[in-house]
Amino acid sequence: MSCPDCDCIGTGDIVQHKMNANVFGIVIGFMGTIVIIRVAPTLEVLQFHEWELDLVEDDELPPPPVAAKRPEPDNVIPVDFTKRRPLKPNTTTEGAA
């Protein structure tokens, strides 16, 4: 991993191509000045020179998805269907659905 105070590229960093921002991925290795990255979303392994890549800062990444909460209904009345219950107050119909 790279240090937070410098813009050096290290293994495990997320980088993108300077000329084509659609090409981005994670650094998986080095061969001299050649950086080997696994490109997202195809998982293809490509090689670029260091000066062709920009380090993507963590604050530019979208936040991870959060599981949606189901809204709590506030007007739900529990009903016991084994007992007779009037549908509305002051009605003559009991237990009819």
pLDDT digit string, tens, across residues 18-50: 998 888 999 999 998 899 999 988 889 999 999
Measured distance CA(3)–CA(65) in Å, rounded: 27
Indicate the pTM of the whole model.
0.53
In a domain, residue 35? The reply is yes
Measured distance CA(38)–CA(70) in Å, rounded: 37
pLDDT in the model for residue 81: 79
The set of residues, in sequence order, having a beta carbon less than 8 Å from that of 31 and lying 6+ positions away, is 47
Residue 28 belongs to domain spanning: 14-58
In a domain, residue 33? The reply is yes
Query: How many domains in the chain?
Result: 1
